Amino acid sequence: MNVMAKAEKKISSAFIYFFGSFGGILFGYDIGVMTGALPFLQADWHLENAASLVGWITSAVMFGAIFGGALAGQLSDKFGRRKMILMSAIVFMVFSVLSGVSPDMGEASAYYLIIVRMLLGLAVGAASALVPAYMSEMAPAKARGRLSGLNQTMIVSGMLLSYVVDFLLKDLPGEWAWRLMLGLAAVPALILFLGVLRLPESPRFLLRKGDEAQARKVLSYIRKNPADIDQELASIKETAKEERQANQKTSWSTLFSGKYRYLVIAGVGVAAFQQFQGANAIFYYIPLIVQKATGQAASSNLMWPIVQGVILVIGSLVYMWIADKFNRRTLLMVGGAVMGLSFILPAVINWMMPNMNPMTIVVFLCIYVAFYSFTWAPLTWVLVGEIFPLAIRGRASGLASSFNWIGSWLVGLIFPIMTASMPQEAVFAIFGIICILGVIFVKTCVPETRGHTLEEIEEQGTNRGRVKASNPEN
């Protein structure tokens, strides 16, 4: 025990925060890797005219993630955040390899890959739920905002990594290129597994299980002042007590009672709009988008995903710089307005000038990605983390996450079907209208959370509920 304690003492807070957030790399890698793999997979399996199969192969991970996040949240309360992150890394490794060795059996191959990627999605959804939970429970209160930005930076860095890997492998024979692209996702999963082996368990989970001595030891690794440790232990105990009492008094119907309805609609709505605005259509299909616009083979357009990835990483760093300087609502509305115009203007220009340069749409997509990267991408989860009162936080956060994954899955599924049946500019114009609807939603339905305590935010919901109850026609 003493030897283990000494070994654990050597763990630095930087190591804990780095590998605590490293699961975002897995999440981002698998979001991005199909972007480059898909053109080669389509050619290898002759799926160029099978839009629905292409949509299912691409979106299967998100379908699995809908269930993976919910399942991991429940299991982590029983077994711990650390053990579930380790389990997610193992699942990710296994099914990444199985994706890369998909048998070539004609159309049956597509169904095999869809099933394997759904199971892989369980690990992706688990990582998306477990990493923020672990980080929020390990980070000091004053650093939680920056560390939420670190998680976003890890996700987009994983996407950029996958785009670079796709580009480096593009000159291999087609049947090998996509297999290696998918299979190499096992490498960051292995790194995560080895890193998390040395991580301590969350002090909050340890206290919930009655192990106060170990919780104090873990806090001593990441807090310098002993007085802060005592204060935090007392705070965790009090919060855990309040949550137990809240869970005993609430049900799913509580979310839509007059007192909480306003805040639940606001948080879940923002989470859903983030995906239905169409960002993932770009991230999954940008080579095919460029191919349709220019006529060049999608497999020769793998530099464009790297451009998008660089923009995303820079945007995540910009967000960390401006996060506490502007209101959440202001950033969401400005970002959503520019994103909407970036989708709508190419359709308008093409209507007015049918001979428009086909790369115009790609330029506008880069503008969209730039504004998305420092507004809706990170702020959705900051706002979801702030807006739900304690009594409903667990259920409401899970509902918001589910709607977000459902949106991600549907966009990935239907985009190739839509572009097969209508002009590409028209498809993006539809997403642009959804962006503008998102701006209207934020303006009319979402309260400002920056600079407000959780109690003040809850009071806004309570007051809005009273107003609605006294003026039902509104």
Whether residues 440 and 325 share a domain: the answer is yes
pLDDT of residue 8: 45
Closest CA to 116 of 94, 87, 95, 91: 95
| Any domain includes 384 | yes
Segment 73-123, tens digit of pLDDT: 778 878 888 899 999 999 999 999 999 999 887 778 899 999 999 999 999
Give the contacts of 292 (CB within 8 A, at least 6 positions apart).
419, 424
pLDDT of residue 210: 81
How deeply is 180 buried, as exposed, middle or buried, from its count of CB atoms within 10 A (0-12, 13-18, 19+)? middle
* Residue 464 scores a pLDDT above 70: no
* Residue 60 scores a pLDDT above 60: yes
| Any domain includes 400 | yes
- Reported confidence tier of residue 203, pLDDT bands at 50, 70, 90: confident
Whether residues 179 and 290 share a domain: the answer is no
Whether residues 265 and 159 share a domain: the answer is no
Q: What is the mean pLDDT of residues 152-178?
A: 90
Whether residues 135 and 274 share a domain: the answer is no
Segment 233-274, tens digit of pLDDT: 887 777 777 666 666 666 677 777 777 888 889 999 999 999
Domain C-terminal end among 199, 230, 259: 199
Whether residues 307 and 159 share a domain: the answer is no
Tell whether pTM > 0.85: no
We report the CATH number of the domain holding residue 364 as 1.20.1250.20
CA distance linking residue 205 with residue 83, whole number of Å: 11
| Any domain includes 189 | yes
Whether residues 297 and 162 share a domain: the answer is no
Whether residues 187 and 287 share a domain: the answer is no
Domain interval for residue 421: 250-474
Q: For all residues of the chain together, what is the average pLDDT? A: 84
CA distance linking residue 92 with residue 94, whole number of Å: 6
Backbone CA torsion sign across 196, 382, 465, 454: positive
- Reported confidence tier of residue 5, pLDDT bands at 50, 70, 90: very low
| Any domain includes 227 | no
| Any domain includes 164 | yes
**Which of 4-13, 50-59, 187-196, 419-428 has the weakest average pLDDT?**
4-13
Whether residues 180 and 288 share a domain: the answer is no
Whether residues 194 and 254 share a domain: the answer is no
Whether residues 132 and 36 share a domain: the answer is yes
Greater model confidence, 175 or 442? 442
Please tell me the total count of domains within the chain. Answer: 2
* Residue 392 scores a pLDDT above 60: yes
Domain C-terminal end among 180, 199, 218: 199
Q: What is the mean pLDDT of residues 337-348?
A: 94
Written as six digits, the tokens of 132 are 């923020």
Whether residues 292 and 378 share a domain: the answer is yes
Whether residues 443 and 315 share a domain: the answer is yes
